[in-house]
Amino acid sequence: MPVLGLTMTEGSITRWMKQEGDFVRKGEALFEVETDKALAEVEAPEDGMLLKILTKERSTAQVGATVAILGAAGEEGAAIVAERPQTSVHDQQQDLSTASKSSRSAAAKRISPRARRLAEEHNVDWGCLEGSGAEGQITEGDIQLRVAETKKADAVLPLPRIRQIIAERLTQSQQERAHIYLTTTIDMTEVTSLRTRLMEHTPTQGVGSEITYNDVFLMTLGICLMEYPWMNSSLTSEGVRLHASANVGIAVVLEDDGLVVPVIRDVQRLTLKHIADVRQALVKRARERRLLPDEMTGGTFTLSNLGMYGVEHFTAIINPPETGILAVGAITDEPRVLQGRIRIRSVMRVTLGVDHRVVDGALAGRFLQRFQALLEKPSQLIKGEK
């Protein structure tokens, strides 16, 4: 087993190109080796007959170990096995230096002995480094830098518990569900001006929260989910549970990495203003990591908004045990055709993700259509206001 890389200690033979009894010429490919980096072909070092294969395909051998015997026709392959000593460590070191020498000669790089020693200590492949010394010589400093950099890139941080949970849940969701995604572009011009008007009002109505787009979406979802109970469901072993309330979770990104989904309960019953209050309080507590367990469970649907990052469109993964999730993008001005004319409108793309095990495309489409319609004519939303 030859040395095929500075750090290689063993290789796995993936394929023998020749069989026992075959005559091979010097230079012909004998077998293929898989190392931690790549696949490599090993050639016959001399002419001869492949008398015995000692390491079969898909077996591993240490660097320096005999993997096969090549000899003159008629020689006893098995007998020779007993005679051949394993390559000593010293030879391995020799091979190492010749291997590294040959791989270096291509680069023809100069390196000081001190730097070389440091590089070998820290497993730095200096052949690809640019030296800062005279005539491009690689210096001790260059190696130290490299070591420091490598250390940075290779920092291994333990996964925080919260990420572990998220990871588990997302994976679970992906595996369980048959996700399908439906996207539509919603004309938000009315909502935008409505929101502006509401904002103008709000301060005079005393202490309260600013009404955000998310609040509008939450309210709209509340209405839609009541109208399409299958969108507000969970698939259990007993069957599809249609939830009585719309408890919509809103995805909140935490500062130091992590995602939490506080749940606003009974959205369908709340006024826009209430929604805003509740939402604000929850998000605040979420960011402070002070959410109560009740506030993070019992969700029936989730809203995820990446519009603040300028994201046009994205697909979100359904939060188990829910059946649907709405991914909302940025509101931008675009030219739209209205009544045969081109107008500049504020538009937003939303992508509805549904579990196709429970809901099929048509239903999802109708749900989405309703959502869109409500937002495009938002006066209906504030029917309940005042």
Partner 1 sequence: MRQILYKEAVAEALREEMVRDDRVFLIGLDIGRFGGTYRATQGLWEQFGEERVRDTPLSEAAIAGAAVGAAMTGLRPVAEIMYIDFTTIAMDQIANQAAKLRYMSGGQARIPVVFRTQEGAGRSSAAQHAQSLEAWLAHVPGLKVVLPSTPYDVKGLLKTAIRDDSPVVFIEHKLLYNSRGEVPEEEYLIPFGKARVYREGSDITVVAISRMVLKALEAAELLEQEGVSIEVIDPRTVVPLDIDAIVESVKKTGRLIVTHEGYTRCGVGAEIATQVVEKGLYYLEKPIRRVCGLNVPVPFAPVMENFVIPDSAALVRAVKEIL
| Residues labelled as active-site residues | 356, 360
Site membership for partner 1, residue 139 (CB under 8 A) = yes
The least distance separating partner 1 from the CB of residue 29, rounded to whole angstroms, comes to 38
Q: What is the CA radius of gyration of the chain?
A: 33
The pairs formed by 291-295 with CB atoms below 8 angstroms and a separation of 24 or more are 291/260, 291/262, 295/262, 295/263
Say how far apart CA 227 and CA 367 lie, in whole Å.
Answer: 8
Say how far apart CA 46 and CA 27 lie, in whole Å.
Answer: 7
Which residue in 92, 112, 183, 185 binds partner 1 (CB under 8 A)?
112
Residue number, 67 or 138, with CB nearest to partner 1: 138
The piece of 109-117, 259-267, 327-335, 341-349 that touches partner 1 (CB under 8 A) is 109-117
Residue number, 34 or 140, with CB nearest to partner 1: 140
Residue number, 122 or 377, with CB nearest to partner 1: 122
Sign of CA dihedral 152, 153, 159, 162: positive
Give, in degrees to the nearest 5, the angle at Cα 2 between 13 and 23.
Answer: 70
Site membership for partner 1, residue 140 (CB under 8 A) = yes
Residue number, 141 or 298, with CB nearest to partner 1: 141
The least distance separating partner 1 from the CB of residue 139, rounded to whole angstroms, comes to 7
Residue number, 116 or 241, with CB nearest to partner 1: 116
Site membership for partner 1, residue 116 (CB under 8 A) = yes
The least distance separating partner 1 from the CB of residue 133, rounded to whole angstroms, comes to 9
Site membership for partner 1, residue 101 (CB under 8 A) = no
The least distance separating partner 1 from the CB of residue 113, rounded to whole angstroms, comes to 5
Site membership for partner 1, residue 85 (CB under 8 A) = no
Site membership for partner 1, residue 114 (CB under 8 A) = yes
Query: 158 in helix, strand or coil?
Result: coil
H or E stretch at 371: helix 361-376
Rounded to 10 deg, the angle between the 213-227 and 189-201 helix axes is 120
Length of the chain: 386
Residue number, 115 or 368, with CB nearest to partner 1: 115
The least distance separating partner 1 from the CB of residue 120, rounded to whole angstroms, comes to 9
Site membership for partner 1, residue 115 (CB under 8 A) = yes
Say how far apart CA 190 and CA 194 lie, in whole Å.
Answer: 6
Say how far apart CA 63 and CA 225 lie, in whole Å.
Answer: 64
- Site map (CB under 8 A) of partner 1, residues 17-56, x = contact: ----------------------------------------
H helices present in 54-210, as ranges: 77-83, 89-107, 113-121, 140-153, 161-176, 189-201
The piece of 17-25, 113-121, 184-192, 322-330 that touches partner 1 (CB under 8 A) is 113-121
Site membership for partner 1, residue 113 (CB under 8 A) = yes
Number of residues that bind partner 1 (CB under 8 A): 8
The piece of 107-115, 171-179, 265-273, 281-289 that touches partner 1 (CB under 8 A) is 107-115
- Residue partners of 97: CB distance under 8 A and separation at least 6: none
Complete DSSP assignment for 268-300 = GGS-HHHHHHHHHHHHHHHHTT---HHHHS--S
Q: How far is CA 22 from CA 73, 120, 228, in A?
A: 10, 40, 72
Which residue in 15, 84, 117, 122 binds partner 1 (CB under 8 A)?
117
Residue number, 84 or 117, with CB nearest to partner 1: 117
The piece of 8-16, 110-118, 172-180, 344-352 that touches partner 1 (CB under 8 A) is 110-118
Residues that bind partner 1 (CB under 8 A): 112-117, 139-140
